[in-house]
Amino acid sequence: MSTFDMNSLGQIIGELSQYDPYPIHDGNGFSAVTRRATVRLIERLECLLFPMQHAWSDAVEGSRRNARLELLGVVTWDLAHQIHRASPHSCDGGGTECPRLSEAFETSLGFVADLPAILQGLTLDLDAAFNGDPAARDRSEIISSYPGLYAIMVYRLAHRLWEYDVPLLPRLMTEIAHSATGIDIHPGARIGSSFFIDHGTGVVIGETTEVGKEVTLYQGVTLGALNFPRDEEGRIIRGQKRHPTIGDRVVVYSGATILGGNTVVGEGSVIGGNVWLTESVPAYSRVIAQPKIQLKSGTP
């Protein structure tokens, strides 16, 4: 094609349409949840939970309460529609009946009523970060600057939606946090209180992972699957437990990899950096990788 003519462009459009992964829906309508809308939703939820980091730091008591109340209503309604928009995705080609908008609104109302409990939990995560990192000057530094706390906040919000069986949206939320922090937590994972991730880039926590209380992870830790079961026709089987179980008060240092649905790390254990672990260890274990290193001193 060497000229900018309508026919050539029209032909390109026609060809593009052939490869659309989703056909255009019928007259009953369909509105996809977008990443942009999900980013906005997370921002609003963060603003509700940690207003100090946002525009309200100056407000007098009453104004702040009003502003928060305004935002809470906006979030409730926004979330209801994002849930509604997300729903068709889980109904692709299936007979499952999709939730209707009024059900989505009920879910949203339930979710916002859970926000105080979620914030209470995040306060414990915040304390865990403060107690676990000597570089932290005060809690406000952690709220504003620690990617671990941000990723955990988004996870806890998304996991609550996951428990409400909201499709797609929780996954998109944690992926947005993954993009911002390098910490990839699947919303289906179950994680206990007082959780701390330091630095965090490269952390992966799979869908069926279970994590106890007061656990600490460093950057590059994978809590992953060892292999994926497939059915007789070679199709991957979805939904089975395939990620490890981490006990209370476990610490996992940077670059460690713990794999497998049957792998249990007993409470109080310490998993050293770069360890590759695919079997269970009892409580209070200390697991250390012993890489042989070759050292040649020399002059230039």
The rounded distance, in Å, linking the Cα atoms of 57 and 162 is 32
Task: Return the structure tokens found at 33.
Answer: 């949840």
Task: Return the structure tokens found at 201.
Answer: 């880039």
Give me the least distance between CB of 102 and a copy of itself, in Å please: 4
| Shorter beta-carbon distance to a copy of itself: residue 192 or 202 | 202
> Which letter does DSSP use for residue 227 in this model?
-
Name the nearest CA neighbour of 76 among 110, 51, 99, 46. 110
* Residue 50 CA: distances (Å) to CA of 70, 150, 217: 15, 11, 23
| Shorter beta-carbon distance to a copy of itself: residue 220 or 245 | 220
Give me the least distance between CB of 184 and a copy of itself, in Å please: 5
| Cβ(270)–Cβ(287) below 8 Å | yes
Give me the least distance between CB of 194 and a copy of itself, in Å please: 15
The rounded distance, in Å, linking the Cα atoms of 8 and 13 is 9
Name the nearest CA neighbour of 170 among 180, 182, 181, 157. 157
**Strand partners of residue 53:** none
Give me the least distance between CB of 288 and a copy of itself, in Å please: 4
| Shorter beta-carbon distance to a copy of itself: residue 56 or 163 | 56
Give me the least distance between CB of 193 and a copy of itself, in Å please: 14
Cα 196 off chain centre by: 14
Q: How far apart are the first and last CA of the chain?
A: 59
| Shorter beta-carbon distance to a copy of itself: residue 53 or 192 | 53
Give me the least distance between CB of 55 and a copy of itself, in Å please: 7
Give me the least distance between CB of 22 and a copy of itself, in Å please: 5
Biggest CA-to-CA distance, the chain: 77
| Cβ(207)–Cβ(237) below 8 Å | no
